[in-house]
Amino acid sequence: MTTQRTPASPDTATSPDIALRRAEHALEIPRARLATAVLTACATLAAAFALAAVSAYLVTRAWTMPPVLDLTVAVVMVRALGVARGVFRWLDRMTTHSVALRGVVSLRTNLFTALASRTDDALTRLRRGDLLARIGDDAQELADHVIKAIVPGIVSVVMFVVVLATIMPMSILAGLTMAASLVLASVLAPLAAYRASRISQDAVVTTRSQVSASALEILDDATSLRVDGRLDDALEALTQEQTAHDAAIDRAALPGAVASAAVPASMVLAVLGSLLAAGSAWLDGGASAGQIGVLLLLPLSSFESATALPAAAAQYARSRAAAVRLDAVVGPGDARGADSPQSATPPTDQHVPEATAHLRTVCLTAGWTPDAPRVRNLELDLAPGSRLAVVGASGSGKSTLLATLAGLLSPLSGSVQLDGTDIASLPPHAVRERVTMFAEDAHVFATSLRENLRVVRGDLDDDTALHALAAVGLDDWVAQLPRGLDTLLGPDGTTVSGGERRRLLLARAVIRGRGVLLLDEPTEHLDTARGDALLCSLLTPGDESLLPADTTVVVVTHRTEAIPPAAAVLRIEPGARTALDCPRTARGRTETQEDR
């Protein structure tokens, strides 16, 4: 079932500069490591620059046929600098990438910590593909920020000074020309590249997120979309989004090419200036052949650091945009979550709530956007041990209702109460302890079967795990696994079918077995007989139930004929009215088997 969500806008966050500073702070890069990376990069370019200068001197000095011993020092220096350049380049790559990779690990750790500490519904409103793009691609952009922006920027400043300090004593004219050329290459070219990247970045990032989100939704809901006759329209929309993404990239190509051409143009200017200075010095007889060679050839190796600056400026623009998007997801405070008002983990001295819970809704209106509510003015009173089936057409708002009851989606109006207290005012861990939602697209992790069950209970023992798997009909499947509960699931292990996946998620609910359990299509993709039997067991309290009698169970299902007579039914459909004291626009009502 496809759920329409409101895309979160990056513009709702703070300014790009503040967001980037927060992201850099979350990278937790020690200054000593960063300084080491910069020094090794400077040493690499300094060795290359010195190698060019000594080589130019050696070639032109040898042209005058001096005694061989006069060239010995220069020959040894060429060999030493050639080796040193390779060694420093290796150290540069190792230290720079080590800093970046360690930083992105810290960033992702801090991001997940901050995300787990959020108390609002911002994450729920994000499309899954959009969240994946932010945590994956945008975090990687900030790793590239270290490699492609921070280090090259600092190194270019150092090399600017080194080059001018080398050339200026030999010729004022060559030095001034080199300074003008370096300004052109180091300032104007990066500014052009930055402007080009800024022009296209918003469109590129937005369209990339849309393509990722739409592709994931089509993959997840291909069967439902085909049954509803909407698959072709979804594929056509995906094609249009991909076309828009490609067009945004094409728009960035031309100004990027202009920025790239500025560096070779400035290099030509520097060579012409050095040629004039060398000619003047030769005619005046005030310079040796070696000095003339250095003046003529050194400009060709003076722009290596400047060559990386347009790419660094473009990366800076991408990093700012990525930081804004991550900041919008993380919310107030920095990405390390230090300023978060609530912690996702309950305090150690916090009293653990009772397993039972009384869940109520008061004139609840739920939906993803205020202009398109899915459930209107709903009154529910679910005492401990209640069993409720939620039915309705695809897209009517069943999953939206579950997300709202679980506290993952804020109500548009009205309230959801847990034991008489609005869940919006309760700490997140207090709600999660007693209300648990098992979504139809819940994740099966690429780890062992045992660890996939422990996500709902960390102290799970093998006997309890095997009992839950047997209760949902997976005992034969487990018996065939090569390593039992230790079998790895996913691409690198055992492939899990759609039916096995649903029963694995249902086994998690059986293991949880306390408080309020909200199950979204738990018997989908199962054969009719097995699915109906499991549905009846979920909705029938007593000894034959999968879950304890005092556990409140709310199940979204399409199989109305399999709902047991004792279970209450909430039918969500346009035009349905409730007899409760609510506005006439109410669309939620409960019915018993007699009503059906």
**Residue 98 scores a pLDDT above 60:** yes
Which pLDDT score is estimated for 122?
A: 63
**β pairing state of 387-392 and 413-418:** unpaired
**Residue 323 domain flag:** yes
300 and 171 share a domain? yes
**Residue 59 domain flag:** yes
98 and 187 share a domain? yes
Residues paired with 435 in a beta bridge: 516
The rounded distance, in Å, linking the Cα atoms of 127 and 112 is: 17
Among the listed residues 335, 340, 286, the one whose alpha carbon sits nearest the alpha carbon of residue 119 = 340
- Name the strand (E) or helix (H) holding 417: strand 413-418
Chosen domain end from 310, 330, 350: 330
Confidence band (pLDDT; 50, 70, 90) for 130? Answer: low
179 and 132 share a domain? yes
**Residue 587 scores a pLDDT above 50:** no
164 and 275 share a domain? yes
Which pLDDT score is estimated for 308?
A: 87
Q: Which token pair is 591?
A: 């019915």
Q: What is the DSSP letter of 145?
A: I
**Residue 588 domain flag:** no
CB-based contact 434:357 (threshold 8 Å): yes
**Residue 436 scores a pLDDT above 90:** no
187 and 297 share a domain? yes
Looking up residue 267, the CATH number of its domain turns out to be 1.20.1560.10
Residues paired with 520 in a beta bridge: 556
Q: Who has greater pLDDT, 209 or 191?
A: 191
Model confidence over 551-585: pLDDT tens digits? Answer: 889 999 888 888 888 788 888 875 443 333 333 23
The rounded distance, in Å, linking the Cα atoms of 77 and 242 is: 54
Which pLDDT score is estimated for 353?
A: 45
Which pLDDT score is estimated for 345?
A: 44
Compute the average pLDDT of residues 488-492.
Answer: 82
36 and 180 share a domain? yes
The rounded distance, in Å, linking the Cα atoms of 26 and 109 is: 9
The CA-atom distances, in angstroms, between 515 and each of 34, 53, 95, 358, 557 are 50, 76, 51, 9, 20
**Residue 109 domain flag:** yes
Model confidence over 491-508: pLDDT tens digits? Answer: 777 888 888 888 898 899
**Residue 199 scores a pLDDT above 80:** no
**Residue 336 domain flag:** no
Instruction: Give the contacts of 478 (CB within 8 A, at least 6 positions apart).
Output: 449, 466, 469, 484, 485
CB atoms within 10 A of CB 56: 21
**Residue 216 domain flag:** no
**Residue 123 scores a pLDDT above 60:** yes
**Residue 530 domain flag:** yes
- Name the strand (E) or helix (H) holding 99: helix 72-116
Q: Which token pair is 46?
A: 């300094």
Q: Tell me how many domains the chain contains.
A: 2
326 and 363 share a domain? no
**Residue 564 domain flag:** yes
Segments forming the whole domain that contains residue 518:
359-581
Instruction: Give the three-class secondary structure for 251.
Output: helix
State how far Cα 256 lies from the chain centre: 26
The rounded distance, in Å, linking the Cα atoms of 491 and 446 is: 7
Average pLDDT value for the chain: 80
Q: Which token pair is 130?
A: 């959009």
Chosen domain end from 330, 348, 383: 330
CB-based contact 114:157 (threshold 8 Å): no
Confidence band (pLDDT; 50, 70, 90) for 45? Answer: very high
Q: Say how many Å lie between the first and final Cα of the chain, rounded.
A: 24
User: Which residue in this structure is represented by tokens 């293991």?
Assistant: 511
**Residue 531 scores a pLDDT above 80:** yes
Model confidence over 204-236: pLDDT tens digits? Answer: 656 776 787 788 778 877 877 787 788 888 888
368 and 416 share a domain? yes
Which pLDDT score is estimated for 406?
A: 86
Chosen domain end from 283, 312, 330: 330
Edge-to-edge strands, sheet with 435-438: 435-438, 516-520, 552-556, 387-392, 568-572, 588-591
Q: What is the DSSP letter of 168?
A: T
Calculate Rg over the CA atoms of the chain: 33
367 and 302 share a domain? no
Global pTM value: 0.61
42 and 100 share a domain? yes
The rounded distance, in Å, linking the Cα atoms of 40 and 155 is: 10
CB atoms within 10 A of CB 544: 8
Compute the average pLDDT of residues 174-200.
Answer: 84
CB-based contact 318:301 (threshold 8 Å): no
Which pLDDT score is estimated for 127?
A: 61
Which pLDDT score is estimated for 331?
A: 64
369 and 517 share a domain? yes
Helices (H), 472-559: 475-480, 498-512, 528-539
Which pLDDT score is estimated for 543?
A: 63
Looking up residue 557, the CATH number of its domain turns out to be 3.40.50.300
Which pLDDT score is estimated for 43?
A: 94
Model confidence over 291-347: pLDDT tens digits? Answer: 788 888 888 888 888 888 888 888 888 888 888 888 877 765 545 544 444 444 444
Compute the average pLDDT of residues 394-416.
Answer: 86
155 and 286 share a domain? yes
Model confidence over 276-301: pLDDT tens digits? Answer: 888 887 777 667 777 788 888 888 88
CB-based contact 389:584 (threshold 8 Å): no
Which pLDDT score is estimated for 90?
A: 95
